[in-house]
Amino acid sequence: MSRLWEKGLPLDERVLRYTAGEDHRLDARLVPYDVRGSIAHAEMLAKVDLISAEDCAAICAGLTALEKDFSQGEWSISLEDEDVHTALESRLTKEIGDAGARLHLGRSRNDQVLTALRLYLRDAADDLAGRVTNLRDSASQLSQRQGDLQIPGYTHMQHAMPSTVALWCGGFDEAFSDAVDGLQSAQRRINKNPLGSAAGYGTPGLPLDRDVTTDKLGFSATQEPVTSVQLSRGKAESTLLFEITLLMQDLGRMATDLLLFYTQEFAYISLAPEVTTGSSIMPQKRNPDVLELLRASSATTHACLDEALMITAKLQSGYQRDLQRLKAPLFRAIDLAADSVDIMAYLLDGMKFRPENIRLDDGIFATEEAYRLVREEGIPFRTAYKQVAKRYSK
């Protein structure tokens, strides 16, 4: 196995394991994106006459075949490969010969990995936004089923003013709509093409046309100057993690409401049997474990955001290997958010409010009564407020 940086010198096995880290496992999701980036790069090299049309065709066909084989489980990324980039290039060169060895001209592993990562993040943000839209549909359907039902509105954990299921659903719907907007806004930093910036200082002497790969890969802009690329590492990742964390906090607050509503003391809602678990000792228990784990999940994504921010803080300009550590928290948060959004939508689909158990305290209508006095008697609100307050101060 010859890794992209190999110079024929020995490498201690312990060093390989430590420096490769989790990349050989994490990079599985990047295979189709590295293939796309590599094909675009090869086509650009051919366009500027740095490789032949024949070599370009062989590279593109070989990469496409490797991606198909990977999806069918015919090969995997090993520790010896170190990462997706070596795994693909070494297999490509083995299959098509010298043409495969020409692919890396005009790029570094630094801009190569960032290209694949940004292509993946672009899709991941869109995918997550689509899942949140499905969650909004589930909340909307709940509102349509039981929206007119009155429930207490709470401040300070006390009955405050009357609300409805529709208002409860609507508040979270707006929050989830904002989450979709936030995920879309994260594309501003994601959707810049780093390919051709190489190790951070361009490719002196090579007539690359970076705008070609920008167009082929659908990026909104070519990132310039080349020195800005490594300085931007972590920004798109942290932006997406920030939006995911806000989304997960909203999910956590919804979960907290539902956990309260599900207690025997409240019993405002019923959950479908298939979304609850049991106790190993208490035969009667049905536990809303899903909601408890949802409530905890924002802590994980917040920690992922903090990890990403701290990795990049105070690094000098140019590439540093520290940046490899961004992948694990980034992928962990994306996967957790996708699973959490889907499971909450599933839970809402089978959830029902129980009107027979919902009682509104008489005092919950006090503000409405004060407003009635203002409208009907023309007195100032503060006077009406005091008059109504006297009824509840005894």
CATH of the domain at 330: 1.20.200.10
Tell me whether residue 7 is in a domain: no
pLDDT one-digit tens code per residue, 57-83: 999 999 999 999 999 999 999 988 888
Q: At what angle do helices 31-47 and 109-146 cross, to 10 degrees?
A: 130
Domain boundary among 105, 124, 157: 105
Do 266 and 227 reside in the same domain of the chain? yes
Do 151 and 210 reside in the same domain of the chain? yes
Do 299 and 240 reside in the same domain of the chain? yes
Domain boundary among 70, 105, 140: 105
Q: Look up the domain containing 57 and give its range.
A: 13-105
Active site residue 38: no
Q: Give the pTM.
A: 0.93
Do 187 and 137 reside in the same domain of the chain? yes
Alpha carbon separation from 266 to 139, 148, 169, 295, 357 (Å, rounded):
21, 19, 18, 19, 7
First to last CA, the chain: 84
Tell me whether residue 87 is in a domain: yes
- Please give the helix or strand (H or E) that residue 286 lies within, else none: strand 286-287
Q: What is the CA radius of gyration of the chain?
A: 28
CA dihedral 247, 235, 127, 342 (to 10 degrees): -30
> What phi and psi, each to the nearest 5 degrees, are found at residue 278?
-125, 180
Active site residue 104: no
Tell me the CATH number at 81. Answer: 1.10.275.10
* DSSP conformational letter for 277: E
* Catalytic position from the list 76, 185, 220, 279: 279
Tell me whether residue 136 is in a domain: yes
Do 31 and 144 reside in the same domain of the chain? no
- Is the pLDDT at 19 greater than 70? The verdict is no
Tell me whether residue 214 is in a domain: yes
Q: What is the pLDDT at residue 5?
A: 46
Tell me whether residue 3 is in a domain: no
Q: Which residue has the higher pLDDT, 40 or 8?
A: 40
* Catalytic position from the list 104, 156, 238, 297: 156
* DSSP conformational letter for 226: T
Contact between 35 and 66 (Cβ < 8 Å): yes
CA 330 to chain centroid, in Å, comes to 8
Domain boundary among 105, 124, 159: 105
Tell me whether residue 142 is in a domain: yes
Do 28 and 156 reside in the same domain of the chain? no
Do 228 and 334 reside in the same domain of the chain? yes
Number of domains observed in the structure of the chain = 3
Q: What is the pLDDT at residue 90?
A: 95
Please state, rounded to an integer, the average pLDDT across all residues of the chain: 94
pLDDT one-digit tens code per residue, 212-245: 999 999 999 999 999 999 999 999 999 999 999 9
pLDDT band at 13 (very low <50, low <70, confident <90, very high): confident
Q: Which residue has the higher pLDDT, 46 or 9?
A: 46
pLDDT band at 394 (very low <50, low <70, confident <90, very high): low
Do 132 and 65 reside in the same domain of the chain? no
Do 325 and 184 reside in the same domain of the chain? yes
Do 293 and 259 reside in the same domain of the chain? yes
Tell me whether residue 8 is in a domain: no
- Is the pLDDT at 272 greater than 70? The verdict is yes
Tell me whether residue 251 is in a domain: yes
Which residue, 134, 141, 167, is CA-closest to 350? 141
Do 44 and 62 reside in the same domain of the chain? yes
Can the peptide bond before residue 225 be classed as cis, meaning omega within 30 degrees of 0? yes
Do 308 and 245 reside in the same domain of the chain? yes
Report how far residue 284's alpha carbon sits from residue 280's, in angstroms, rounded to the nearest whole number.
Answer: 10
pLDDT band at 393 (very low <50, low <70, confident <90, very high): confident
